[in-house]
Amino acid sequence: MKLFLHGEKARLSMSCKKSRSMKAGGFIIAIISLFLIYFAFPGWVFSQETGNEQGEDKEKDIIEELETYSLKELLNVEVTTASKRPEKVGEIPASVVLITREQIEKFGYQTLTEILENIPGLYYTDDYTSKNFGIRGFWTAEALKNIVVLVNDIQQTEFLGNSNLLELFPIPAEAIDRIEVVRGPMSVMYGNGAFFGAINIFTNRPAEKGKKSFVSSSMGSEKTGKVFFRAAGKGDDFNYSFNSSYSSTDGINKPLSKMGNSPGTTMTTKGFLENSEKYFNFSGTYKNFLFDSSYSESHKGILSLIPPAEDGTLTVWKAFRLNFGYRKELSKKTRFNAKFLYFMNQWTFDYDFFVVDNFYGRQINGSTGYRAELNFFYNPIPRLQLTLGFNYNHVPEITSDYTVPAFGLNLIHNHLAKGESMNTESLFTQADYKLSKKFKVVAGFRLDHVPQYTFEKQIGDFNTGQYSFKQDSYLYDKVVFIPRLALIYSPDKKNFLKFLYGKAISRPSFFQNLDPINNPDIIIPQLTPETIQTLEMNYTGNISKELSVSLSLFYNILDKLIFRTLLVVNDTVVSYHANVGEMATSGLELTLHYSPVKEFQLEFSGTYQDTNDQREGFKDIEPGYSPKFLGYMKASYSFNKNVSLALTGNWVDKMEAYWDTTLKNDNGTYGRRIGDPVDGYFLLGANLRVNRLFGTNLFLNFRGSNLLDQEVRYPADSNNSLLAPRGTIGRGISFLFTLGWKF
């Protein structure tokens, strides 16, 4: 079974019962009413500017709240994700997207998922089991397996599937101060899985000015509710931030007949996709010491494989991370930082399938371990920056237990053998050298090593010791060399041209390495790391005072990709994972930012990507989940320092379902689509933001999503090909109302 790699927090949305026109009309009337109140009674609703000290302080706070970065301003903003030290965006050897707290508030993003699906190059998929994203035309069944996700510089990877399951870090949008997205191979800095870059989510960087703490409450479609609290502060030697949130929703209500091949059924998704989430995060620094901890817990319903019998399948996701750090400036030229992380991830499935009476099935998955990292930064001369780092991962516990008697799966326990651990040892370095005022060269490499480890499969009651077991070992322990090279040309401080080359790896996961003990009668080749090599040219600059441009041309070569393949043994078909894939993707990303006046911001982004499967027999088969065109739009207008209206839009082109080589056709051949193709769709959203409501620290936010009530479909995958071969349906029109208080 494959379900352990997936899970899905129900989206905070609904398909309303009223007609589309009434829904859209109600939203427009609400906006118009608020505007009329503002223009008719500005002194009553919103605070007036005064010359006193209190009024000046309020104005500073409001300016801080509504400030946003244009591409022009972005060039001089410092980020840390690309090289693990502060450097200006224009000088980073990669293309960068920055999302600020002010943008999140202005556009009214409801969830982390909604933020990510509005980042150029990313597109969302939802199979009612797991939420996932494709990146630059490439998609994997394991959620975000080929991009590194960090929270406050802490990697979120779980080690059973080497993925970044969003259910294990359900960060509320209100807690996010900033997101740094670095696109392109980042394995030199972050090692395994950084095929397409890194996403770093910060919850511990409240604004320097203005109110740092607030409380809010939200209500919306599908009985969605959320409460959020933040407390943050700073002193001479310390600062801290605490975020906590609880949310719940009934989930979307869609008829299964529109997704499957049984049009007569009356069953819907109602009552099967509920979701509730708890999230806590505390971060702080004291002098040179750093501390970060987080705990999350989600209870959510999923739909997979076949229709449910009673209450549906329930999943529970738990994650805990505790990080300690120390940083020190040894001299004017040398400094270092050290980090130590403990992590625990666990997710449980209580299955409910319409198969037999009193159906029982449970699966428990998880990983626990430690990570240590040491980074040195040396600046021997003004033109040269040297970075040297060491990373060590120690994972003594990886497990996948399941028992589903109706499917012939009885008390199966996959885990590391006693006394074994899965470790990763890495050494990396990078040099940044300014050849002149206009030219800069960046070169680096990483040496990555995973020693051999042994795992086993137990069948039987392992609590009482009545079981049999099989063992095997992962033997690929070669040191992998990962290079990076960039040349950056800046004729002036407003324009940057970057020529980039990078390589990245994605190692086979623990789950993929289990195939030899699952198929003991055949010889299965040892899996090796997948690789990507990227050539990219990026230009970021200012065409005029009002217009800024970012353009990236990229070409990706993906090799040794791990796919399911099949072998016929004694008229029996056996499938297993193997390094059989090769793909090439060429693409273009363009962003235009136009701001004729400070109050008005307009941004258009577009991505074209063409992915070709280079395997023999697959060159004429369109890759699944790979739209050719993606489009994004953002527009905002600030009526004054207190009121703003913003629009968002994104277009996702049509997609094919996955081509499964293990499926048998009527003519005896193997290989076909796992489901039907789905059409493209356009999502339009709007947000009204009001600060200083009634002259107080109250703020109001009113967000509408999918205002055109477009039917959104995501292609079927192996989790739901029987349940929804025509594709799962996304959320319809939905609203979220938030009221909060800053203090």
pLDDT tens-digit readout, 553-579:
999 999 999 988 877 666 677 888 999
When comparing pLDDT for 75 and 515, which is higher? Answer: 515
Beta strand 148-151 with 197-202: parallel, antiparallel or unpaired? parallel
- Residue 212 pLDDT > 80: yes
**Exposure string for 142-163, b = 16+ CB within 10 A, e = fewer:** bbbbbbbbbbbbbbbbbbbbbb
> CB of 220 within 8 A of CB of 736?
yes
Query: Mind listing the pLDDT tens digit for each residue in 281-332?
Result: 999 999 999 999 999 999 999 998 888 877 889 999 999 999 999 999 999 9
Give every CB contact of residue 169 below 8 A, 6+ residues apart in sequence: 149, 151, 156, 294, 296, 319
In degrees, to the nearest 5, what angle opens at C-alpha 453 toward C-alphas 452 and 459?
A: 150
Q: Which of 196, 95, 88, 187 is nearest to 146 (CA)?
A: 196
Give every CB contact of residue 629 below 8 A, 6+ residues apart in sequence: 606, 607, 608, 651, 653, 680
Q: Please tell me the predicted confidence (pLDDT) of residue 408.
A: 73
Output the average pLDDT for the chain. Answer: 87
DSSP string, 389-435: EEEEEEEEEEEEEEEEGGGTEEEEEEEEPTT--EEEEEEEEEEEEES
Instruction: Please report which confidence band the pLDDT of residue 432 belongs to, taking 50, 70 and 90 as the band edges.
Output: very high
> CB of 280 within 8 A of CB of 296?
yes
Give every CB contact of residue 65 below 8 A, 6+ residues apart in sequence: 102, 105, 207, 210, 691
Query: Mind listing the pLDDT tens digit for each residue in 14-66?
Result: 333 334 333 444 444 344 444 433 433 344 344 434 334 444 344 344 334 33
Phi, psi of 713 (to 5 degrees): -125, 140
Q: Please tell me the predicted confidence (pLDDT) of residue 721.
A: 86
Partnered with residue 582 across adjacent β-strands are: 559
Partnered with residue 372 across adjacent β-strands are: 340, 392
Where are the domains positioned within the chain? 3-742
CA 119 to CA 589: how far, in whole Å? 11
CA 22 to CA 440: how far, in whole Å? 57
DSSP state of 512: G
**Token representation of residue 428:** 């990396």
- Residues 403, 404, 405, 407, Cα dihedral to 10°: -130
When comparing pLDDT for 6 and 423, which is higher? Answer: 423
Measured distance between the N- and C-terminal CA atoms of the chain, rounded to whole angstroms = 50
Percent residues over pLDDT 70 in the chain: 88
pTM: 0.89
Radius of gyration of the chain measured on its C-alpha atoms: 26
> CB of 661 within 8 A of CB of 670?
yes
Quick one: average pLDDT of 181-204? 93
Element (H, E) at 460: strand 453-461
- Residue 453 pLDDT > 50: yes
Count CB atoms within 10 A of the CB of residue 420: 18
Quick one: average pLDDT of 675-689? 97
Quick one: average pLDDT of 684-701? 95
Q: Please tell me the predicted confidence (pLDDT) of residue 73.
A: 64
Q: Which of 246, 201, 213, 241 is nearest to 228 (CA)?
A: 246
> CB of 90 within 8 A of CB of 490?
yes
Query: Mind listing the pLDDT tens digit for each residue in 333-383?
Result: 999 999 999 999 999 999 988 766 777 889 999 999 999 999 999 999 999
Element (H, E) at 632: strand 629-638
Secondary structure of residue 54 in the 3-state scheme: helix
CA 23 to CA 589: how far, in whole Å? 34
Q: Please tell me the predicted confidence (pLDDT) of residue 575.
A: 82
CA 436 to CA 441: how far, in whole Å? 10
In degrees, to the nearest 5, what angle opens at C-alpha 251 toward C-alphas 246 and 256?
A: 160
Torsion region of 228: left, alpha or beta (phi above 0 gives left; psi -120 to 50 gives alpha):
beta
- Residue 9 pLDDT > 80: no
CATH architecture of 3-742: Beta Barrel (2.40)
Element (H, E) at 60: helix 53-66
- Residue 69 pLDDT > 80: no
Instruction: Please report which confidence band the pLDDT of residue 113 belongs to, taking 50, 70 and 90 as the band edges.
Output: very high
CA 128 to CA 143: how far, in whole Å? 13
**Token representation of residue 529:** 């790391």
Q: Please tell me the predicted confidence (pLDDT) of residue 267.
A: 87
> CB of 736 within 8 A of CB of 12?
yes
CA 136 to CA 119: how far, in whole Å? 11
CA 295 to CA 183: how far, in whole Å? 28
Q: Please tell me the predicted confidence (pLDDT) of residue 43.
A: 42
Quick one: average pLDDT of 383-400? 96
Burial of 637: CB neighbours in 10 Å, binned 0-12, 13-18, 19+: middle
Pinpoint the alpha helices (H) of 117-197: 187-190
Quick one: average pLDDT of 379-402? 96
Q: Please tell me the predicted confidence (pLDDT) of residue 285.
A: 96
Q: Please tell me the predicted confidence (pLDDT) of residue 15.
A: 34
| Count of H-run helices and E-run strands, the chain | 8, 38
Element (H, E) at 106: helix 101-107
Q: Please tell me the predicted confidence (pLDDT) of residue 520.
A: 82
Quick one: average pLDDT of 704-719? 94
Secondary structure of residue 513 in the 3-state scheme: helix
**Exposure string for 335-358, b = 16+ CB within 10 A, e = fewer:** bbbbbebebbbbbbbebbbeeeee
Phi, psi of 28 (to 5 degrees): -65, -45
> CB of 256 within 8 A of CB of 726?
no
Query: Mind listing the pLDDT tens digit for each residue in 623-658?
Result: 999 999 999 999 999 998 899 999 999 999 999 998
